[in-house]
Amino acid sequence: MRRWLVSALLLLQAVGLAYSADQKAAGTDGHDKDSTKPEPATETDIAYGAQYAWTPYQSGWELVNEATAEFRKIRTSHHRRSKKQNGLFSALFQYAMKALPSLRVSAPPQEHASPVISGPLLEGVKLLQQSADQNNTDAIYLLAQLNFFGNYSHPRNFKTAFDHYYRLAAHHGNSSAQYMVGMMYATGVGDAVERDQAKALLYHTFAANQGHTRSEMTVAARHLSGIGVPKSCETACNYYKRVADKAMVWFRSGPPGGMTLTPEAYRLSDEFGGVYGEGASVISSGINALKASPNSDAYASIDDVIEYLDLMANKGDFKASFNLGRLYYEGQRGLERNVELARRYFHGVTTKYWRAKDGRIVDQAKPQLEKIASKSAGYIGRMWLRGEGVNQDFKTAQRWFERGIKHGDAQSQWGLGLMHLHGYGVKRNIPRAHELLKASADQDFSLAQVTVGALHLDQGQPEDLKIANSYFEAAVRYGNIEAQYYLAELIHHGIGRDRTCGMAMAYYKNVAERAEPLISSWAEANQAYEDGDLELAFLDYVMAAEQGYEKAQNNVAYLLDPTHSLFALPSWLKRQAPRPTLLHNSALALIYWTRSAIQSNIDSLVKMGDYYLNGVGTEAALDKAAQCYTGASEYFQSAQALYNLGWMHENGVGLTQDFHLAKRYYDQALETNEEAYLPVTLSLLKLRLRSAWNTFTHGRVNSIRDEPSPKKDWSLSEWIANFVQDDTVYYEDTYEEYYDDTIAGSDGEPMGEALDDDDLDGVLESIVIFGLLGAIIWLMYYRAQRQEAHRRAQENAALQGGLPAGGAAAAQPPVGQFPQPDDPNFAQWLAGGVGH
């Protein structure tokens, strides 16, 4: 009887634990989104402080399970917006269809009609409400999530969501709820509460002290930028270090080599050429403009690149097959990882070089095939080592790595070295591992550089610390997260290098931001944006922006920006739906433009100036607008900022009206960005007309005037010296870097080598000298002939007048002879006056 009673008690305990697990799962699944509405970036575990121990036997847990079951019945559409942009004809066709009159008859839309929920969603909400009335924390949290994120098409009600979050945060110490309360106080989203940065910092600090990762990162970002608190590098560094430590634990918990990181962070405005559009934004103008040849794929979408490479691969191009494999293996934004397809393409390359049966090299392999095949073998071995798309098999991985090593593949050397280092399928052999890893690191393979650096770091000797530091810095060039973490630790603790708070904090921040799947909502935000749910995308971007992501701050401001275009298109030409009410918040847009500008985003700084200039989201402040434009123009050479400063000087808005200074700024804008030719030219034309009228009417504005050119009266020696100097500078400006190749003759030597540039210059100088000498001799001969003719004319005149020839000669000094020094004509002769 006693044994049966013990068994019954154990059975009841097991049932209770099972129910508690279901309840915890309900806290996660109850607010999951489907594929079209991914789960928002909020931690779904119900976390509590140490003083609030969570018990699995909360009242109303059965109602939570029933509500979760009701939510699973909801089916939502799986529509995905196409990522590929339409062509010209497709766009024209869609505009034409928009222009056609609609024959549908419908009632006018009701702007403030409240949505009605029904079916399983209504039943689930009722069950959660009943459970929340019994103070069930899971039910309260799920109701808050439904009202904030609009899961399962539930209407958003931010005031109700705040009440639920505040109830959990204040009465139960839930860190996730404290994080959400802090976020709502920081942004005032949905007008649920008034923005209060002090309260926001308070709740985030409470959550961070309980280990909430996103609150830790938010507090770090606030101390870094001085948001609601004085700036403190040490405090920000400590919080970023806590997040970076968690990020590295998560990264190293993956397969050999660490977790795969696919960057999701990007700016929405970059798809349109920047905040101001293509050619007007800093990212797409001037020195930052994308310059590529017409045959380049720089302007092609990823879909077009994949299609082209697949076509070439089907024609037998092994390089195209390898590039396709790399694209699918590494993945990128807009292209999900597909290791199965990547392995297929890599195998397509290797089978062209190694026989599938015995692994022997095929006869008459194509040139360069062995190099590409060895790289493909390295990727295949990496997949078997990490168990990506296949069951993990160290023996198969070793076989592929050995194939790649025969041709010096760096990835294969790293993979086999890692196996020997940790004993993956082979006996540990540290010397052999170091040999392979160093060979790979010498080929600039970042993963091997980090591993070799870690091996030297473990030695602890000063010389080893220098070597480790050099390897880590080499790997950081490729954005290796582990190398950044090692450098952050070395700098933070002052090991092997000087302790610098700013540099350590920057590395910790980079490590924390790279662990996007762990701590951020980037994936959910991007998916919501692609699905066309701008409100959900905005909410997820706001959460990432509060954590200090500059790109998320830029995205939030861009979504809220009401000044995308000065001239609005007619309603019948608009292809997009009206902006949701949630996105009408210019004051919040200015806040995030400012935070983005603090992190060196130039277009955001110019946008700040626009908001202050036009009084958008704040009162007009012309002095602040001028400061923003000046900062963007002086330090970063923004053509848009230079143009705006020119406009302000032209019209006397916020700056002294000065047509001459306005022209200078317009000219600098054109020099900075050649694509601004049309607006700058039109503005200069109008400016010159205004300046001419101002000059004609004797106005008080400083008109356009020619720049004074410095003039100086040079002496003959100064003129010759400057002429020689300028000539030397001119001829020193050679063009050998452009014309370094010469035409070779039949003997293979460059033609005309016997007559180089120096010899040609010498011949020309000789010709000029001989020409000048001949001219001088001719002038002397001509002068002598003129003098002889003059003398004969005088003699003839004397004969005709009856005077003797000698009389005339006696009356004047002999022509053609030098006058005597005591002769009055001696001075004239010295000056060249004789005979003229």
Q: What is the DSSP string of 691-749?
A: HHHHHHTT-SSB---PPPPP-----HHHHHHHHHHHHHHHHH---TTTS----B-TTSS
Counts of helices then strands in the chain (DSSP H, E): 35, 0
Question: Is residue 447 pLDDT above 80, yes or no?
Answer: yes
What's the CA gap between 250 and 244, in Å, rounded? 10
Q: Which phi and psi angles does 750 have, rounded to 5°? A: -60, 140
Q: What is the band of 40 on the pLDDT scale with cuts at 50, 70, 90? A: very low
Predicted confidence (pLDDT) per residue in 364-409, tens digit: 878 888 999 999 999 999 999 999 999 999 999 999 999 999 999 9
What's the CA gap between 409 and 436, in Å, rounded? 11
Q: What is the band of 296 on the pLDDT scale with cuts at 50, 70, 90? A: low
At residue 37's C-alpha, the angle toward residues 36 and 43, to 5°, is 145
At residue 188's C-alpha, the angle toward residues 185 and 194, to 5°, is 75
Amino acid 802: pLDDT: 54
Predicted confidence (pLDDT) per residue in 229-263, tens digit: 999 999 999 999 999 999 999 999 999 999 999 88
Least confident of 466-480, 486-500, 749-763, 767-781: 749-763
What's the CA gap between 76 and 258, in Å, rounded? 35
Length of the chain: 836
Amino acid 305: pLDDT: 85
- Of 416, 622, 522, the residue nearest 39 (C-alpha): 522
User: Which amino acid is residue 134, in one-letter code?
Assistant: Q
Q: What is the band of 712 on the pLDDT scale with cuts at 50, 70, 90? A: low
Tokens of 785: 């002939």
User: Which are the contacts of 769, defined by CB distance < 8 A and separation ≥ 6?
Assistant: none
Predicted confidence (pLDDT) per residue in 715-749, tens digit: 666 766 766 665 444 444 443 443 344 434 333 44
Amino acid 303: pLDDT: 81
Q: How far apart are the first and last CA of the chain?
A: 152
Question: Is residue 510 pLDDT above 70, yes or no?
Answer: yes
Amino acid 761: pLDDT: 59
State which of 415-424, 723-732, 771-780 shows the largest mean pLDDT: 415-424
State which of 54-58, 78-82, 533-537, 791-795 shows the largest mean pLDDT: 533-537
- Of 325, 359, 360, 322, the residue nearest 341 (C-alpha): 325
Q: What is the band of 39 on the pLDDT scale with cuts at 50, 70, 90? A: very low
Amino acid 570: pLDDT: 55
Amino acid 576: pLDDT: 56
Amino acid 19: pLDDT: 40
Predicted confidence (pLDDT) per residue in 784-818, tens digit: 888 888 888 888 877 776 544 444 444 444 444 44
Question: Is residue 50 pLDDT above 60, yes or no?
Answer: no
What's the CA gap between 436 and 295, in Å, rounded? 40
Amino acid 723: pLDDT: 62
Percent of the chain at pLDDT above 90?
A: 55
- Of 530, 520, 594, the residue nearest 560 (C-alpha): 594
Question: Is residue 14 pLDDT above 70, yes or no?
Answer: no
Residue of higher predicted confidence among 212 and 750: 212
Q: Are 265 and 551 spatial neighbours (Cβ–Cβ below 8 Å)?
A: yes
Residue-averaged pLDDT of the chain: 81
- Rounded to two decimals, what is the model's pTM? 0.75
Sketch out the chain's domains with CATH numbers: 16-49+56-73+118-211 (1.25.40.10), 299-502 (1.25.40.10), 621-707 (1.25.40)
Q: Are 576 and 532 spatial neighbours (Cβ–Cβ below 8 Å)?
A: no
Amino acid 315: pLDDT: 87
Q: Are 221 and 547 spatial neighbours (Cβ–Cβ below 8 Å)?
A: yes
Contacts by 396-405 with C-beta closer than 8 Å and gap 24+? Answer: 397/424, 397/425, 398/425, 398/426, 401/377, 403/350, 403/354, 403/359, 403/374, 403/377, 404/374, 404/375, 404/377, 404/378, 405/436
Predicted confidence (pLDDT) per residue in 175-224, tens digit: 999 999 999 999 999 999 999 999 999 999 999 999 999 999 999 999 99
Question: What DSSP letter does each residue of 116-169 carry, written as one string?
Answer: ---HHHHHHHHHHHHHHHTT-HHHHHHHHHHHHH-GGGPPP-HHHHHHHHHHHH
State which of 51-55, 111-115, 223-227 shows the largest mean pLDDT: 223-227
Least confident of 170-174, 458-462, 767-771: 767-771
Amino acid 54: pLDDT: 46
Burial of 490 (0-12, 13-18, 19+ CB in 10 A): buried
Amino acid 297: pLDDT: 55
Amino acid 492: pLDDT: 95
Tokens of 388: 């990506």
Give the distance from CA 486 to its chain's centroid.
Answer: 24
Question: Is residue 579 pLDDT above 80, yes or no?
Answer: no
User: Which are the contacts of 719, defined by CB distance < 8 A and separation ≥ 6?
Assistant: none
How many angstroms separate the Cα of 96 from the Cα of each of 93, 101, 471? Answer: 5, 10, 60
What's the CA gap between 140 and 64, in Å, rounded? 10
